[in-house]
Structure 1
C-alpha cells in the first residue's frame, strides 16, 4: 500500500467534522441518559437525578438549535447545488431521513420545554423522552443505511424499482457491512460525548443554576461516569471495525499513517477516561475544571483520527 499523506487542510477538515460529529451524536444520545436519570429519580426518590436530567436535556436542545439550523441551511445549499440528489432513486429515502431527524429533534424540544408543565405527569413526560430517544436512534440508522448505500460501488437500486423495493434494497444491510460496527460505536460514543459535554455544561451554568454544593458533588461524577463507561465500551466496536478493514490497512510500519490514526483513535479515549476517573473519585469534582475541559480535544482528536483512517480504507 502506498503511504498516505495527510495535508493540513485534510487534518483541519477531519477535526471540524469530528467535533461536529461528536456534538450531533451527543444530542442524539442525550434522551437516553435523561430518561434513565428520571427513572433513577423515581426509584431512589432523589431529586438530584431529575435536576441532572433537566440540565442534560437543556444542553442537548440548545446545541440542537444551533447545529440543526446549520444542517438545515446546509441541506438547502446542497439541494440547490446538487439537485440530482433529490431527483434520483435516493430522493425519498433522503427526504425520510431528513424528516426523521426533524421529527426526533421536535420531540426532544417538546420533552425539554414541557419539563415544568408536566411535573405532575412524570410517566407521560418520560414517555415523550423515550419516544425522542427511539426516534433519534431510528434517524441515525436511516442516515447510516442511506450513506452505506450511496457509497457502495455499482447501481444499488434496480432501474424502475418501486418505492418499497428502493427502501428494501437500501436498508437491507449485510451482516458483514462496516456500517454495523460504525452504528454501534456511534451510539456508545454518543452516550460518552453527552456525558463529556454535560460536565462542561455544568461548569458554564454553575453560577446561573446554583443548585448547591451537594448537587454538583453528585452531578459532576455522574456525568463523568456517563462519559467514561460508554467511551470505553465503544472501543469494542471500534476494534471490530479495525479488524474488518484490516485487509486494506497494509503492512504495519512507521510510515503507515493509517495505522497511526487508528492508534490515536484508541489511545486518546483512554487518556480522556483517565481525566474523567479523576473527576469521579474526587471529593471536590467541580475543582477539576482542567480535566473536564482537557477531555474535549482528546475525544475530538480521536474522532478525527478514526474518520481519516476509515475514509481512507473505504476509499471515500
Structure 2
C-alpha cells in the first residue's frame, strides 16, 4: 500500500509541476515565432497549448474529485493544512479553465491567457511543493491524528522552509518541472504526427529543439539530485522495504541504483537531439519519460 501511495504521489507531483511550465513554453514559442518570423514555432506552440490544457484538466479533475469525494488526500488534511489544500484545488481549477480558454482565444488574447494559466499553475505548484515536502517528512500523517497535532506539524514544516534541505527540494522541483514539461511536450509532438502532418522539416526541427531542451533540464535535475543524495546518504531499512516490498534487504541498494535512471533519461534525450532525423529515435522520448518517473520515485523515496 505504501508503494502505491508514494508512486501515485510522485506521478501527481510530476504532472502538477509540468502544468506550471507548459504554458510558458507555449508563450515563449509564440514570441519566437514573431521575433524570428518562423511559423514552425507557432505550430509547435499550438501543440504545446493542447497538452497544457489536457494535463491541467486532468490534474484539476484529480484534485477536485479527491476533495469532493473525501479521498485519501482530503482525509489527511486537517487544521492549517486544509486551507492550503483547498487553495491548491481552486488554483488548479482556475489554471485548467484558463488553459482551455487559450485553445479558443484570439491571437491577441492567447498569450495573455497563456501567462495567466502559467501564473495560476505556478501558484498551485508552490502549494503542492509545500504539501509534498510535508508528505515526505511525515507531517501530513501526523496531522491526521487531530487538529492539535496538525497545528504542531504545520509549525514544524514552516520552520523547515528556511533550511537547506527544503531549498534543495525546491530546486529539485523546479528542475523536475522543466524536465517533465519538455519531456511530455516531446512525446506529445510525436503522438500528434499522424494528425498534424506539418512535414518532415517541422518535426525534425521541433523534436531536436524539445529533446535538447529536455536534456538541459535533465542535466540540471541530475546535479540537484546528486546534492540531495549527499544530504541523505542513508535511509531507514524498513521504509526502503515498504517502498520496494519485493526485493527484501536489497531495497535500499535498489533505490540508490534507481537514481541512475535520471542520467539514463538525460542520455536518451541528448542522443535524440543529436540525431539527424530525431523521429527515427522517437521511442527514446517515451523511454526517457519512464526512466524519469522511476528516478523521481527513488529520489523522493530517499528524502522520506
Normalised-by-shorter TM-score class: 0.7 to 0.9
Q: Find out whether 1:104 has 2:95 as its counterpart.
A: yes
For 2:128, which of 143, 162, 173 is the aligned residue? 143
Q: Find out whether 1:217 has 2:204 as its counterpart.
A: yes
Over aligned residues, Cα RMSD in angstroms?
A: 3.1
Q: 1:93 to 1:219 in 2, by over 3 A?
A: same
For 1:75, which of 59, 67, 70 is the aligned residue? 67
What is the rounded CA distance, in whole Å, between the counterparts of 2:212 and 2:230 in structure 1? Answer: 28
For 2:195, which of 191, 201, 208 is the aligned residue? 208
Matches within 5 A, 1:211-250: 211-246=198-233
- The structure where helix makes up a greater share of residues is 2
Match of 2:181 in 1: 194
Deviation track 1:99-150 (CA, whole Å, cap 9, x = no partner) reads: 2222222222222332xx2x2x2xx532332232222222211233345467
Contiguous gaps of at least 5 residues in structure 1: 1-8, 159-165, 312-316
Greater C-alpha radius of gyration: 1
Q: Describe the SS at the equivalent of 1:288.
A: helix
62-71 or 291-300, larger mean C-alpha shift: 62-71
Match of 2:82 in 1: 91
| Contact 1:104–1:136 (CA under 8 A) maintained in structure 2 | yes
Matches within 5 A, 1:12-51: 13-51=5-43
Q: 1:174 to 1:26 in 2, by over 3 A?
A: closer
The count of residues paired between Structure 1 and Structure 2 equals: 284
Matches within 5 A, 1:104-183: 104-114=95-105, 117=106, 119=107, 121=108, 124-148=109-133, 151-152=138-139, 155=149, 157=151, 174-176=161-163, 178-183=165-170
Deviation track 1:232-260 (CA, whole Å, cap 9, x = no partner) reads: 1012332333333347579xxxx664354
Q: Find out whether 1:298 has 2:291 as its counterpart.
A: yes
What is the rounded CA distance, in whole Å, between the counterparts of 2:208 and 2:271 in structure 1? Answer: 9
What is the rounded CA distance, in whole Å, between the counterparts of 2:300 and 2:55 in structure 1? Answer: 22
Could you tell me the TM-score, scaled by structure 1's length? Answer: 0.77
Give the CA deviation at 1:213.
Answer: 1.1
Higher relative contact order (CA 8 A, sep 6+): 1
Match of 1:274 in 2: 267
What is the rounded CA distance, in whole Å, between the counterparts of 2:168 and 2:10 in structure 1? Answer: 17
Give the CA deviation at 1:30.
Answer: 0.6
| Contact 1:28–1:133 (CA under 8 A) maintained in structure 2 | yes
Match of 1:264 in 2: 258
Q: 1:155 to 1:70 in 2, by over 3 A?
A: closer
| Contact 1:149–1:156 (CA under 8 A) maintained in structure 2 | no
